Copies of this chain bind each other. A is one copy, B any other.
Amino acid sequence: MEYTQQSGARESDAPATREEVAEALERLAFLAVRHLTNRDISFTAASTLGRLSREGPSRLTALAADEGVTQPSMTQLIQRLERQDLVTRVDDPHDGRVVLVAITDAGRELLAERRRGRTNRLAELLATLSPEDEQALATAVRAATPAFQRLVENAARARKSPGSTAS
């Protein structure tokens, strides 16, 4: 991640090739992670809570699969979240083996707070930019979102059936 000066004299010059776009995208992701993400609970924890909020009570195994972690990891995560009263467990009346995990009101509130906090923080940061920069970023984000969405879907699919360059 040697991100001082990419290669030559480029500034608002176009990244023309696929590789250049890839590098620029990678850099954006790196910087975003480094500077714009929350640290209170983990990605998986937040994502799991969000899923429970959207989709209602779920099985442990289903959550693990959806979040891309192993079942023991999800068991542990749910135990931690349970200790914090962010989720509860309910026994499935139809199958004595399964545990249904449900988000609590406190969990929903945490999600809402996180969302508010991050949005505020980002909005504040956006306000530090010049109007031109802010406009440029707004336009770019709007333009990139649908394509990026599809890119990520393709990535998720590729992850399930491999055959790609690792690293």
| Residues of chain A having any CB pair with chain B under 8 Å | 1-4, 11-12, 14-16, 18-19, 21-38, 40, 43, 46-47, 49-50, 53-54, 111, 113-129, 133-134, 136-152, 154-156, 158-159, 164-167
Chain B residues contacting A122 (CB-CB under 8 Å) are 21-23, 25-26
Point out which of A12, A23, A113, A141 has the most chain B C-beta atoms below 10 A from its C-beta.
A141
Least CB separation from A29: chain B residue? B32
Chain B residues contacting A24 (CB-CB under 8 Å) are 141-142, 145
User: How often does this chain occur in the complex, in copies?
Assistant: 2
**Interface SS of A by simple majority:** helix
Known: A15-B142, A125-B158. Is A32-B34 also a contact (CB below 8 A)?
Answer: no
Alpha-carbon distance A63/B66, docked complex (angstroms): 37
Chain B residues contacting A32 (CB-CB under 8 Å) are 25, 28-29, 32-33, 152
Alpha-carbon distance A126/B127, docked complex (angstroms): 31
